[in-house]
Amino acid sequence: MKPVQIRRRPPASQGQWPESLPPLLQRIYAARGALDLEQARPPLARLLPPDALSGLRTAVRLLSEAIDADRRIVVVGDFDCDGATACAVGVRGLRMLGAGHVAYAVPNRMVHGYGLSPALVAELAAMRPDILVTVDQGVACHAGVAAARDRGWQVVVTDHHLPGESLPAADAIVDPNLDADGFASKALAGVGVIFYVLLALRRYRRELGLLRAGEPDLGVLLDLVAVGTVADLVPLDANNRALVGAGLRRLRAGHGCAGLRALIEVSQRQPARLTATDIGFALGPRLNAAGRLEDMALGIECLLCDDPARARELAESLNAINSERRQVQQRMTSDAEAALARVELSGTAAPATAVCLFDAQWHQGVVGLVASRMKERLYRPVIAFAPTEPGAGMLRGSGRSIPGFHLRDALVAVDAMHPGLIERFGGHAMAAGLSLDLRHLPAFQQALEDYASRTLDEALLQSVLWSDGELLPGEFDRFHAEALRDGGPWGQGFSEPLFDGVFELIDWRVLRDAHLKLTLAHPSGGKPLSAIHFNGWHGQPPGMRLHLAYRLMPDDYRGGDAVQLVVEHHLAVA
C-alpha cells in the first residue's frame, strides 16, 4: 500500500543552537519538538528521578533485606530482547549491590508460554528461591504469582506492560503504566524499569550505610539498557533517549559487555559507528531469535558472559539461530502473501479492517514477525496464529497494530463481549499476544473485525509518510551524512530523518534478484548520486524521473567521502 506523503512543517520557533551544529540538524531537531541541544540529546543528568514509581519503596526494601539476609534471589526474564537484557541487568546489578545468591530463569516459549506461569514456578522449585524478581513481565501473571506465593516465596514484579482490571497478589509491583502511577515517562521498556529499581536500591543502601565495599557504578549496565529499549520499539522520549544515548556511547567506545561486543562483531557492524538502527536490525534480532526458535537462556548467558572467547561462541550460535529464523520467517511470510494474493485475485473486496492469519505449519516463535510484515503491507491490524506445537488444538497469536487502534484494548473488548473465547492475552497498544482454541478462531476473527469496523476510523487505514523535505544540493555530502547518523538516537517518537525529492535516472541494475542499485542526477546538478532500494525490484524497470523518499547515509563500503541514498519509498511523480 503506497503511503500518503506529508512534509513536516517548519516549527514556529527554530530553537537555540550552538553555531557548530549544522543547520540541517537544527531544522530536524526543531521539527521533532526539541528547542535546544539538551532537549535533542538529553544527558544522563536529565533522567527522571525514580521516586514517583509506585511500589518502588516496598520493592527496594524487600530486595535490600534479601541481600542482607543472603537469601536466594531468582530473576525471572522473558523470551524477547527486552526481557533478556532486563534479566542480565537485574542479575548483574543485584550482584554489584551485594547480593550473594542471584540466579536467573526464563520461560521457554514452547513449554511454558508467556511470563511467570504455574508451570514455570513448579520448575523453579528446584532452585529453592526465597524471592522472585520478574522483569519485563509479571503484571498479568496472576496464577504464576499466586503459585509462587503459595510456596512461601516473595515476589517482586517489575514490568512495563499495561495492567488488566486487577493486579496479581505480588509483594511489590513496579510498573510505570499502573493506574495512578506518578512517573512522568510511560515509555520505559522492561529493562528501563529494572534499571530504575537498581538506582533506587543503590540509593537506599547508601543512605543506610550498607555499601561497605564502595558504591558500584550502575552506568556500566547502560549498554544493555540501550539495546533492550531500542529493540522493544518503545517511544524514545527524552528519558529513553538519555538512557539509549549513554548506552550507545559505551558501545561505541568499546566498553560494552563481552556478549554485546561479540554480537556486534558477528553482525559485522563497526562499534565506533554503532547506531540505534544497528541495534534494531542487527543486535536485537539475534537475541530475539533465541527466544523465538530455541531457548532465550542462550541469549541471557551471552549477555552475562565476561569471557570474550566464550561470548564469541555464544554470539556465533545466536547468529546461526537468527539465520534459521530468517528462513522460517521468509517461508511463513511467503505463505501469507500467497494467501492474500489468492483473495485479491478472487475479486474479493478490500481486506477486512482487522486481519487474522493462520497456518497449521507455521512456527509460533515467528508469527509476530509475520504479523508485522503483513501489517506494513496491508496497513491494517494483523494477528498471525500458529499451533502451540505441531497438530495441537491450541493456538498462539501475535498481533501488530497501526496508530489509532489500541490492540490490547481491542482484545479486552472482545473478551468482555465473548467470555471464554480467548484463553489469555496481554500486550500494548501496538503489539499484543493471545492464546486461543483452534475451534474458536472463526468466532474470534469475526468478533475482532466487528469491533475494528465499529471503532477504527477509515481515515486511519491510510499510512502516512512524514518527510523532512528536500536536501539542499550542498547537503549531499559525507559531513551531513555523518551528522545525521550520529545525531540520534533516532527511533519511535523521535524518527530518523527521511527526505524526499525528484531525481533523474542515469543508470540502474538489479542486485541479488531483489534490490535496485540506482545512479541518480539531482535537478540542480552536481556529482551523480548513488542510491539503493532494498527489496525494491518488482519486475518493472524504474522510470526516468523518480520521486523518492530516502535517507542520506555514509557509504562505508566505498569509503572516502562517498555517500549513499537509501531509498525507503518510490513515490508517484507529481
Chain segment 438-494, per-residue pLDDT in tens: 999 999 999 999 999 999 888 888 888 899 999 998 999 999 999 999 999 999 889
Residues 385 and 505 in one domain: no
Of the candidates 241, 249, 323, the residue with the CA atom closest to the CA atom of residue 286: 323
* Residue 27 lies inside a defined structural domain of this protein: no
* Residue 492 lies inside a defined structural domain of this protein: yes
Residues 173 and 301 in one domain: yes
Q: What is the mean pLDDT of residues 404-414?
A: 90
Residues 90 and 183 in one domain: yes
Of the candidates 248, 282, 245, 183, the residue with the CA atom closest to the CA atom of residue 494: 245
Q: What is the mean pLDDT of residues 79-105?
A: 96
Residues 493 and 512 in one domain: yes
Residues 267 and 391 in one domain: no
pLDDT per position as a tens digit, 531-563: 999 988 888 889 899 999 999 999 987 777 899
Residues 166 and 144 in one domain: yes
Cα–Cα distance measured from residue 407 to residue 456, given in angstroms and rounded to the nearest whole number: 11
- pLDDT score, position 560: 78
State how many domains the chain has. Answer: 3
Residues 212 and 265 in one domain: yes
For the chain, the farthest-separated pair of C-alpha atoms sits apart, in whole angstroms, at 75
* Residue 174 lies inside a defined structural domain of this protein: yes
- pLDDT score, position 463: 84
Residues 300 and 356 in one domain: no
Residues 153 and 297 in one domain: yes
- Final residue belonging to a domain, choices 461, 493, 523: 461
Q: Which of 59-63, 91-95, 429-433 has the lowest mean pLDDT?
A: 429-433
Whole-prediction pTM value?
Answer: 0.89
Q: How many C-beta atoms lie closer than 10 Å to residue 322's C-beta?
A: 22
Residue 477 sits at the vertex; the CA angle it makes with 475 and 483, to the nearest 5 degrees, is 80
Cα–Cα distance measured from residue 191 to residue 326, given in angstroms and rounded to the nearest whole number: 26
- pLDDT score, position 350: 52
CATH number of the domain residue 450 falls in: 3.10.310.30
* Residue 327 lies inside a defined structural domain of this protein: no
* Residue 7 lies inside a defined structural domain of this protein: no
Residue 330 pLDDT greater than 80, yes or no: yes
Residues 515 and 442 in one domain: no
* Residue 252 lies inside a defined structural domain of this protein: yes
C-beta of residue 570 within 8 angstroms of C-beta of residue 547: yes
Alpha helices in 232-283 (DSSP H): 238-252, 258-266, 276-278
Of the candidates 155, 156, 173, the residue with the CA atom closest to the CA atom of residue 164: 173
- Final residue belonging to a domain, choices 271, 301, 319: 319
Name the grid cell of 260: 554485546
CATH number of the domain residue 490 falls in: 2.40.50.460
* Residue 551 lies inside a defined structural domain of this protein: yes
Residues 455 and 470 in one domain: no
- Final residue belonging to a domain, choices 436, 461, 486: 461
CATH number of the domain residue 225 falls in: 3.90.1640.30
Q: Compute φ and ψ for 549, nearest 5 degrees.
A: -100, 130
pLDDT per position as a tens digit, 499-508: 999 999 999 9
Question: Which residue would you say has higher pLDDT here, 163 or 157?
Answer: 157
Domain range holding 565? Answer: 465-571
Q: What is the mean pLDDT of residues 194-211?
A: 96
Residues 193 and 227 in one domain: yes
- pLDDT score, position 128: 97
C-beta of residue 553 within 8 angstroms of C-beta of residue 564: yes
Integer angstrom CA distances of residue 354 from 328, 369, 378, 384, 447: 24, 17, 10, 11, 10
